[in-house]
Amino acid sequence: MVTTTYQVQGMTCGHCVSSVSAEVGAIPGVSDVQVDLATGRVTVTSESPLNTDTVRAAVDEAGYDLVGA
Ligand SMILES: [Cu+2]
């Protein structure tokens, strides 16, 4: 299992958290997504390292921006 932390910009409430969790959680191989609304940190647990572009696309699909990475 691999755990990677991403920084997501634009989340403001619990709905944002569930949107991001749902989109990122739908990426194949992802087993867990933890979102910290206060800091914008999204911690993703997956079977193998994820392609950052894949995560970026999922976050973008949810309506938010992946910062850095
Ligand atoms: Cu929201």
| pLDDT for position 30 | 98
Q: What is the mean pLDDT of residues 24-31?
A: 98
C-alpha to C-alpha distances, 20 to 7, 12, 67, nearest whole angstrom:
12, 11, 14
CB 31 within 8 A of CB 25: no
Residues, beta carbon < 5 Å, ion ligand 1: 12-13, 15-16
**What is the Å distance from ligand 1's center to 52 Cα?**
23
For residue 19, report the distance from its CA to the centre of ligand 1, in Å: 8
Query: 15 alpha carbon to ligand 1 midpoint, in Å?
Result: 4
The confidence band for 68, taking pLDDT boundaries of 50, 70 and 90, is: confident
| Distance spanning both ends of the chain, measured CA to CA | 20
Measured in Å, residue 7 CA sits from the centre of ligand 1 at 16
**Nearest residue to 4 via CA among 23, 28, 32, 26:** 32
Would the pLDDT of 35 be above 70? Answer: yes
| Phi, psi dihedral angles at 25 (to 5 degrees) | -65, -20
pLDDT in tens, 42-52: 999 999 999 99
